[in-house]
Structure 1
Amino acid sequence: MGFPGVWMTESGSMIYRVVPKCACSTIGQIMFYTDHGRFFDGDIHDSTNGLHKWSQDESQKAIESAVLGHETPTFTCVRNPYSRILSSFFDKIAGIQRNGRRYRGNLVPQLIQRYGIDVGSPENGFDFDQVASFRRFLLFARDTIRWRRPMDPDIHWSSMSGHIATFIANGGQYNRIFFTEKFNDGMKQVLKNAETPNSIDLKDVPRFNESEGHGPKRAHKVSDYFDDLSRHLVWEIYKDDFQLFRYDFDDPDNKMPIGEVDLDEVHAKLGR
């Protein structure tokens, strides 16, 4: 199976397991900068050189050798599950993508037809009932994850633990898992343990969010989107994410982790 979703600097200074909707654009740009002394011009997901990616055939041998050698600093980043699934909805379902189209072509029309979701449009200022539509999207996300219908789950709302587990199951080992909510602290520790050709000041790094400004802004606080049924669905989908990465299930408005990640526990539970 290899190591899908893994990026590595060309200098071999660090290895990163991408988890979508967890600052992956910013992390990729930082990795690119530490090798080249500049940021990639464009969305780092579109780069085809300057950064090793498992999706690039010519990068696979270098990545596999470094991962299995267990000597290269290896990390990933996680995010509050409530915030992450909301971000997925507003970016991928309600928002317009960089190419000017809806995400995955006919996905949104399918959701409108099958789940009664309304996401508005740029023409009406994205005027729609955000709470009702998000809750219906959550039913769809649960159906894709639990029963793989009406489609396989998308990487943007698949569980973080699922992404992180594939790396462990195939022989990888994490040295650090840090929080999007404490990004600078976590990334600082990663860089501290990596020998990079170029240094970077995290205070000067912009947040690279390609979806910003292409869709509706969230109109309510996080807890307003999650009634009892929604929270039940979130627990069904993301129980491991809450428990392993120490996020507060009881208070959707508390985005901060309530403990530190235990790497031994993560490797033991996700490496089965």
Structure 2
Amino acid sequence: MKPGKRLLRNVISDAMGVNAANKLVWAPDVPIVYVDNPKCGSTTIKNTLKHAQANLFAAEGRTFKLRDDPHKADDCLRQRGLRLSDCRHRYVISCVRNPFTRALSGFLDKVATRDPKYFPELRSRRVETFEEHLMAVAEYPAKRLNFHFRPQYLNLDFPNLTYDAVFYLERLAIFSDFCRKVAPQLTLETSAPHSRGAGEASKLHEHYSDRAIELVREIYAKDFSAFGYSTDLAETNRVPGLCIIANRIVPEGTKVEEAIGSEPVNITVPPAYGTTVRYHRLVEMLTL
């Protein structure tokens, strides 16, 4: 995106009081709006939405395009055109991940295998180590980071937006339970082509120096606190709770069917979410 266009978007979003960073993904007839959060099961969630919509179209005898890539918008999965009238009775969801493993996954998937010119935050420098990558990220304004590196609370505009459910990648089976609860046509369609095994103990040991640990704690401090993760690298496998509903962590032992309401929290389209949708529509209409 050209700097002038990005600046104009930021000015408009600041004036409206919304975060310009988030990306809304939805399917026409599936009662979900997914707020995209890369490196946190996003491919699986989008794949699930896309195939559910494709099955609905097929059952109705309607022709449609279904590409294998869940990151491609088409008839079954959309990233533009969402209206406030489409938002009622839709569950607003996302997924988060331990900042230690997410940060490493972003580096292994995007930086270690690509030309550094692809990422402005690296200032065209050849980054050789994970620690060097984190140092470059730490020097760059958080809101302007590529959303694979950007703190998750910014991608989600959390807690400004109220979520019906935010899942933990470490416990994605809860998303499957949620699917069965809210829509019978939804079935978990797992897809992880970009997985780099960042949660493996050997990968963590290989890439995390003491300085790297400090940098992740600093860059992603709000992610740790907002989503309940421990700042101890040795506890990357500890999940803070069952999931997050209405922006509160659901404790262990709670039944999913009891925690998830019969109607979405956003059934009346609260002001913050409504403003976010209006902002996205304004961006689309002005082709910013």
In 2, distance between residues paired with 1:76 and 1:224? 30
TM superposition shift of 1:30: 0.3
* 1:248-267, Cα deviation, whole Å (9 max, x unpaired): 21134633323354644589
Q: Residue 223 of structure 1 contacts residue 253 of structure 1 at CA under 8 Å; is this kept in 2?
A: no
Which residues in structure 2 correspond to 1:132-147 (within 5 Å)? 133-145=129-141
Identity %: 19
Equivalent of residue 180 in structure 2, options 192, 210, 233: 192
Please give the root-mean-square deviation of Cα atoms over the aligned residues, in Å: 3.3
* 2:160 is equivalent to residue 158 of structure 1: no
Structure-2 separation of matches of 1:262 and 1:48? 29
In structure 2, the residue corresponding to 1:45 is in which secondary structure?
A: coil
1:215-254 per-position Cα deviation (integer Å, ceiling 9, x unaligned)? x9x8943144223322221111111211221222113463
User: CA separation of 1:177/1:212 partners in 2, compared to 1, >3 Å: closer, same or farther?
Assistant: closer
| TM-score, normalising length: structure 2 | 0.66
Aligned to 2:166: 177
Q: TM-score, normalised by structure 1?
A: 0.69
**Is the 8 Å Cα contact of residues 100 and 236 (structure 2) preserved in structure 1?**
no
1:173 and 1:76 map into 2 onto residues whose CA distance is: 11
Write the mapping of 1:13-52 to structure 2, written as runs, cut at 5 A.
13-37=31-55, 40-52=66-78
Q: CA deviation at 1:138?
A: 0.6
- Please say if residues 6 and 15 of structure 1, whose CA atoms lie closer than 8 Å, have aligned partners that are also in contact: yes
Distance 1:22 1:163, change over 3 A: same
Shift of 1:109: 8.2
Counterpart-to-counterpart distance in 1, 2:117 and 2:47 = 24
1:73-113 per-position Cα deviation (integer Å, ceiling 9, x unaligned): 221101111110111101111125xxxxx47647678121x
- C-alpha distance in structure 2 between counterparts of 1:246 and 1:106, whole Å: 29
| Cα distance in 1 between the residues matched to 2:116 and 2:171 | 29
Secondary structure of 2:95's match?
strand
* SS state at 2:28 partner: coil
Structure 1 stretch displaced more, 31-40 or 76-85: 31-40
Contact 1:82/1:252 (<8 A) preserved: no
Q: Deviations 1:26-72 (Å, cap 9, x if unpaired)?
A: 1101001111129943322122332231xx2xx232xx3344x3x31
Q: Structure 2 unaligned segments of length 5 or more: list them.
A: 1-12, 59-64, 250-264, 266-271, 273-288
